[in-house]
Amino acid sequence: MPTHVKRAFKYRFYPTDAQAAELSRTFGCVRKVYNMALAARTEAWTRQERVNYNATSAMLTAWKKTEELAFLNEVSSVPLQQCLRHLQGAFTNFFAKRAKYPRFKSRRKSRASAEYTTSGFRFRDGKLTLAKMKDPLDICWSRPLPEGASPSTVTVSRDSADRWFVSMLCDDTPAPMPATAGAVGIDAGLDHLVTLSTGEKIANPRHERRDRARLAKAQRALAKKVKGSANRGKARLRVAKIHAMIADRRRDGLHKLTTRLVRENQTLVIEDLTVRNMVKNHKLARAISDASWTELRSMLEYKAAWHGRNLVVVDRFFPSSKLCSACGTITSMMPLNVRTWTCEGCGTTHDRDANAAKNLLAAGLAVTVCGAGVRPQREFSRTGQSATKQKTPRREP
């Protein structure tokens, strides 16, 4: 059955001076309203009172009537209302213990963006015109929208490299992929980005390392500039462009890799890595961040959901590296510097990453075929003693 999804299509556009000024004002007003509403809700929270979206919307109406905040009337009201809805969503996630307490938006560090609903834009004949603007945006249509699709929301943003983007949320039916019975275990690493259970190893491009010297030179030049000067702004932009280029290359490579894996396999098995804890190792933090394992998993998750593939996530305590894929013997110690090892039980010599990928695949197939668990008890992975009880595995769609 075709899968109907909400899909965002992102394009770069080139605003006129008037459009750029209008959008910059909108970004500033969105940030101002968000921070004021957050401050009001935080103050109410200290009094053990809850303020919902309707209350903050009424506050916005009152703020617009004051002389000090009259400038809020100069921009479209739609993005201002949307930022209040986003704040409500942030508090909902906080109360449900899915996220931390909302933070204030920073002019420098926060993403400059504004979201428009259907009442805040007009999309006709392939041209997008936002509220308070006379002319349509000059969009670089790098790929077509789905046939007959009409955006439900439009998000305009500007990144730190001073590039402008527009993201259109549309209903879409992803193109079906050819049926396959393939299954693969995927072990993420640093020497190789991923190692597959087939024995194939995908090289780690190390995008940040390629431009490390160039980035360091630009950062040194930025550090020497006087704060607040025009030259410092230019130097900051040069650093941001290098970071943007690195991120773009990394994202492009991950998209190509994940699309290939989803196209070729019906079942994909990965490990639940705690990247947040792993980057606390200062010797490996830069390399782990550059590999971007979290983004790799995120892409596999939504692409598998789109195309009807099965993605199995094995618990982080499963001893994939220490378990012999030939006889099942568990080695007590396996330091990171050990890349090949010989099983004491059967004498088989293993490549560490390839063996881990094979074990991940076997554990994932056990889930999909017979429902066995792959989340062992803590004693199973820490002491090497076999567990008699298996917990229910964490599974992703």
* 344 annotated active-site: no
d(CA 380, CA 166) in angstroms, rounded, equals 49
Find the farthest-apart pair of alpha carbons in the chain and give their distance in angstroms, rounded: 81
Which residue in the list 22, 271, 290, 315 is annotated as catalytic? 271
Backbone Cα Rg of the chain: 25
Q: Which helix (H) or strand (E) holds 56?
A: helix 53-64
Which residue in the list 187, 208, 290, 315 is annotated as catalytic? 187
Which DSSP string corresponds to 118-136? Answer: GGGEEEETTEEEETT-SSP
352: Cβ contacts below 8 Å, ≥ 6 apart: 321, 334, 338, 339, 340, 341
Residue 23 and residue 114 in contact, taking contact as beta carbons nearer than 8 Å: yes
d(CA 12, CA 31) in angstroms, rounded, equals 22
Which residue in the list 115, 290, 315, 353 is annotated as catalytic? 353
DSSP E strand stretches across the chain: 5-13, 112-117, 121-124, 127-130, 139-140, 153-158, 164-172, 183-188, 192-196, 201-203, 267-271, 310-314, 340-342, 349-351
d(CA 152, CA 350) in angstroms, rounded, equals 52
Per-residue b/e over 153-182, b at no fewer than 16 CB within 10 Å? bbbbbbbbbeebbbbbbbebebeebeeeee
Single-letter residue type at 179 = A
Q: Which helix (H) or strand (E) holds 282?
A: none
Single-letter residue type at 176 = P
* 396 annotated active-site: no
d(CA 121, CA 151) in angstroms, rounded, equals 10
In sequence order, the β-bridge partners of residue 312 are: 269, 395
* 187 annotated active-site: yes
Q: Which residues are catalytically annotated?
A: 187, 271, 353
